[in-house]
Amino acid sequence: MSAHVLAVGEALVDAVHRPDGTSEEHPGGSLANVALTLGRLGRDVRLATWLGRDARGDDVRAWLAESRVALVAGSDGADRTSVAQATLDDTGAATYEFDLEWQVPAGAAADDETLAVHTGSIAAMLAPGDADVRSLLAAARDTATVTYDPNARPAIMGDADAVRPRVEEIVTLSDVVKVSDEDLAWLYPGRDPLDVARAWQATDPAVVVVTFGGEGATAVTAAGEVAVAAPRVEVVDTVGAGDSFMGALLDWLWGADLLGAARRDALRAIDRAATARMLVRAVAVAAVTVSRAGANPPWPRDLIGPDRVRVGEHGTEEHS
């Protein structure tokens, strides 16, 4: 065994429909995309998911293996591989409809070598697997950092009023939360997304990051708030962008020796300069992903990112 991140959640096929009437299929799924990002960035990552032993499942397995993602035993027990129908608008933004089933494979658990457990999106909300996900996270806190991205899918999750308490429950179990401004607008209509992030961070997480699409991201920590701008790129589509951002956060935290339950106090003490470096890395990774079709996060060779950041006034970050 070796030190690794365990991602728990859906791997599926994205059937992408473009405004010009063309369509194509890509392997994807929120948690698979996070794992893929970590694998491509050179990290040991395991994915506990729920795939069928069918042609689509074969495509997903090959895609994951190519990016050095290991599947947890039992992840191929589904009757069929799930499908997400992604419809793109003229800006490249995607809306989704799903045909899926989800449960946690029996072999999924954190062990002494698990530095972090990450979950979110459908896996944390869809029965029957959702209850097992929450139990796994609660147990994992003894040894691992817990990270979470709500990545809301209203078509699957249902009413925001019913979902909100369940999201908040997982937030309180988490050390790092990443959430988009669109997710927060659905969960808390009319509220300032940063006000929600501040409230979440006060419940226990060391870091809560809010992403604002092409405008960048803001992190809320005990040391204060840090904002970075996103690099300007030509957007092909946004499929997998938030997931690659999340994977990059985990990659950076691993490199900074801030993963694992024994490093929880150090993570809570993260300063603004370190937080800025983390965010700059994450927006650079996400920018590559949106610049190409499908969930296709970068390899290290694709990143020619900023290597310096300077903390500006009022929490604004400048980078070069």
* Beta strand segments in 56-99, E: 69-71, 83-88, 94-99
Residue 317 has pLDDT above 80, yes or no: no
Residue 309 has pLDDT above 60, yes or no: no
Q: What is the CATH number of the domain that holds 227?
A: 3.40.1190.20
pLDDT of residue 1: 64
* Beta strand segments in the chain, E: 4-8, 12-17, 23-28, 45-48, 69-71, 83-88, 94-99, 114-120, 145-149, 176-180, 207-211, 217-221, 224-228, 309-311, 317-319
The average confidence (pLDDT) of the chain is 90
pLDDT of residue 127: 86
Tens of pLDDT, residues 167-212: 999 999 999 999 999 999 999 999 999 999 999 999 999 999 999 9
Domain that holds residue 73: 4-319
Residue 70 has pLDDT above 60, yes or no: yes
Record the pTM: 0.90
Tens of pLDDT, residues 38-64: 999 999 999 999 999 999 999 999 999
Which of 3-12, 117-126, 231-240 shows the lowest mean pLDDT across its residues? Answer: 231-240
Phi, psi of 255 (to 5 degrees): -60, -30
Residue 318 has pLDDT above 70, yes or no: no
Structural domain total, the chain: 1
